Amino acid sequence: MGAGDEPVDRAPAVRPFLVTAGRVAGADADPGATPPMPVETQLVATAAGLERLDLMSFERHDIVAACRRPQSVAEIAAILRLHLNVVRVLAEDLAAGGHLSVYVPSADIARDVSVLRRVIDGLRTIPGSRGTVRDSD
């Protein structure tokens, strides 16, 4: 990282296997297999998960607690200082146990004209006068 980078919350180098008992999600773990859970995937605690919070240990507890409101995989990783792949694995486990709902966005979204239009319309409402200069202008 250059001197100009000023991370707000730098996650420490966590060894994934310590937390996930040997399972590692993501491209590293199994190339060519199912693509990893996208980083923007939304995680939401279930009522059952919140009820059983006290029985959960460490990272599982923290993830479910942090997902009282919807959070992305990336946000959870940054906030809890966990490796992205650790969050992916734990999110799957927690979903399997009924403690977390995992909302995986469809990859087709990027080609969805109505979604693109909504993003464009939303961005246009952002104030700010300075624009861009284009070479074709």
Partner 1 sequence: MVSAPSPAPGGQSVTATEAPGRAAPPLPVKMVVAGGFGVGKTTAVGAISEIRPLTTEAAITEVAAGVDDLSHTPHKTTTTVAMDFGCLTIDDGLKLYLFGTPGQERFGFMWDDLVQGALGGLVIVDTRRLDDCYAAVDYFEHRGIPFAVAVNAFDGHVEHTLDEVRWALDVAESVPVITFDARERGSVRDALLVVLDVALTRAGG
In this structure, which amino acid lies at residue 119? V
Nearest CA to 87 out of 30, 11, 9, 8 is that of: 11
Minimum CB distance to Mg ion smaller for 5 or for 9 = 5
Q: Which one of 36, 52, 53, 66 is in contact with partner 1 (CB under 8 A)? A: 36
Q: Which one of 19, 20, 40, 58 is in contact with partner 1 (CB under 8 A)? A: 40
Q: Which one of 39, 53, 65, 66 is in contact with partner 1 (CB under 8 A)? A: 39
Task: For residue 74, give every residue at least 6 positions away whose Cβ sits within 8 Å of its Cβ, in sequence order, or none.
Answer: 39, 40, 84
Ranked by CB distance to ligand GDP, the top (closest) residue is: 4
- Judged by the rule CB under 6 A, the positions of this chain that interact with ligand GDP are 2, 4-5
Minimum CB distance to ligand GDP smaller for 4 or for 22 = 4
Give the contact letters, 58-77, x = binds to partner 1 (CB under 8 A), - = no.
-----------xx-x-xx-x
Check if the beta carbon of residue 45 is closer than 8 Å to that of residue 108: no
> Rounded distance, CA 113 to CA 109, Å?
8
Minimum CB distance to partner 1 smaller for 46 or for 61 = 46
Check if the beta carbon of residue 95 is closer than 8 Å to that of residue 101: yes
